[in-house]
Amino acid sequence: MPKLAYLGPEGTFTEEALRILAPGAERLPSTNVPAALEAVRRGQADGAVVPLENSLEGAITTTLDELARGESLLINAELLLPVEFSLLARPGTEIAHIKRVFTHPAAITQCRNFIARELPDAVVVAASSTAAAAQEVALPGSPYDAAIAARIAGEHYGLVELAGGIGDRSDTVTRFVQVSRPGPLPEPTGADRTSLVAFLADDHPGALLEMLTEFSVRGVNLSRIESRPTGDGIGRYFFHFDFEGHVADARVGEAVSGLHRICSRVRFLGSYPRADALSPQIKRGTGDDDFAEAASWLDRIRTGQV
């Protein structure tokens, strides 16, 4: 049975995602995303499940940065999980008396309107996770009056739900990824996604366009691009890319090789089945057969068999 680290403690949305992605796995709660990923790198866990982006707040930048640094980890699965938030408090608490709310920064963003409307005078403090906030609020003498978390966190830690479905949108989804140390890739399914991090050799004019061109000329459709600061100064970035296809596909392999040639460094983050199982539209001349036929034709003309 694999042991998987996750952003804990029990009752986080990440735990819910892990239960779906790996129902039989042993769960190792970690205090934050870096700790969950380090547990994999140190061999304390066989893998980890961490949040990557949210449909309302965008990327979980800590995860992007932690996947770009340290020893390489590979994404081997993803999950899109609908997230619903509840306002949880110790029994007997009234909303009017709530002055200090505790929750994960992503939850603060996703419940902004509820907080402004129903808790205008409350101070909202960032916690390492929604369930960590609920765990803290449940402690006698806690400095916090309420937590924003999943309803199940209230059940775990003995809190009552004062309000449910408090997110600004009812259709919010968070994307989670399951990562492991480098090893065999998942087999191509025809509905895959590939992720990588690219570091520019320099920021000459058009450098970003050159990277994008490596995808477009081969008909590889980008689904996400995020710039993240390298820390070397304002304007110095590295880039996270998600795109359709599996690195075993000729067009994807050619695009990734092209990036490898023009960038100072490329970190491959994996090819894995898409959570939405959507198959890409293959542009004319960019299918595996097209690449194979073109390679044969090139061999022929290089030997004068024109």
Ligand X SMILES: O=C(O)C(=O)C[C@]1(C(=O)O)C=C[C@@H](O)C=C1
Measured from the Cβ of residue 290, the count of other Cβ atoms closer than 10 Å reads 16
Tokens 């392999």 belong to 253
Closest to ligand X by CB, 114 or 291: 114
Q: Which of 13, 102, 238, 241 binds ligand X (CB under 6 A)?
A: 13
User: Of 12, 103, 172, 174, which residue is the catalytic one?
Assistant: 174
DSSP string, 206-262: THHHHHHHHHHTTTPPEEEEEEEE-SSSTT-EEEEEEEES-TTSHHHHHHHHHHHHH
Q: Which is nearer to ligand X, 6 or 238 (CB)?
A: 6
107 binds ligand X (CB under 6 A): yes
Restricted to residues 123-142, the positions that interact with ligand X (CB under 6 A) are 129-131
7 contacts ligand X (rule: CB under 6 A): yes
Q: Which stretch binds ligand X (CB under 6 A): 9-17, 20-28, 251-259, 274-282?
A: 9-17
* Shortest CB 151 distance to ligand X, Å: 12
Cα–Cα dist 244/41, whole Å: 27
Residue from 13, 85, 176, 215 carrying the catalytic annotation? 176
In sequence order, what are the beta bridge partners of 79? Answer: 176
Span 181-220, contacts to ligand X by CB under 6 A: none
268 carries an active-site annotation = no
Of residues 16 and 242, the one with the C-beta less far from ligand X: 16
Phi-psi region of 85 (alpha: psi -120 to 50; beta: other; left: phi over 0): beta
- In Å, what is the CA distance from 201 to each residue of 132, 215, 237, 239, 264? 41, 18, 11, 12, 4
Q: CA–CA separation, 135 vs 214, rounded Å? A: 48
Nearer to ligand X, 176 or 215 (CB): 176
Residue 174, interface with ligand X (CB under 6 A)?
yes
Residue pair 103/147 in contact (Cβ under 8 Å)? The answer is: yes
Residues classed as catalytic: 174, 176
Q: Note the residues at the interface with ligand X (CB under 6 A).
A: 7, 12-14, 51, 54, 60, 83, 104, 106-107, 129-131, 174
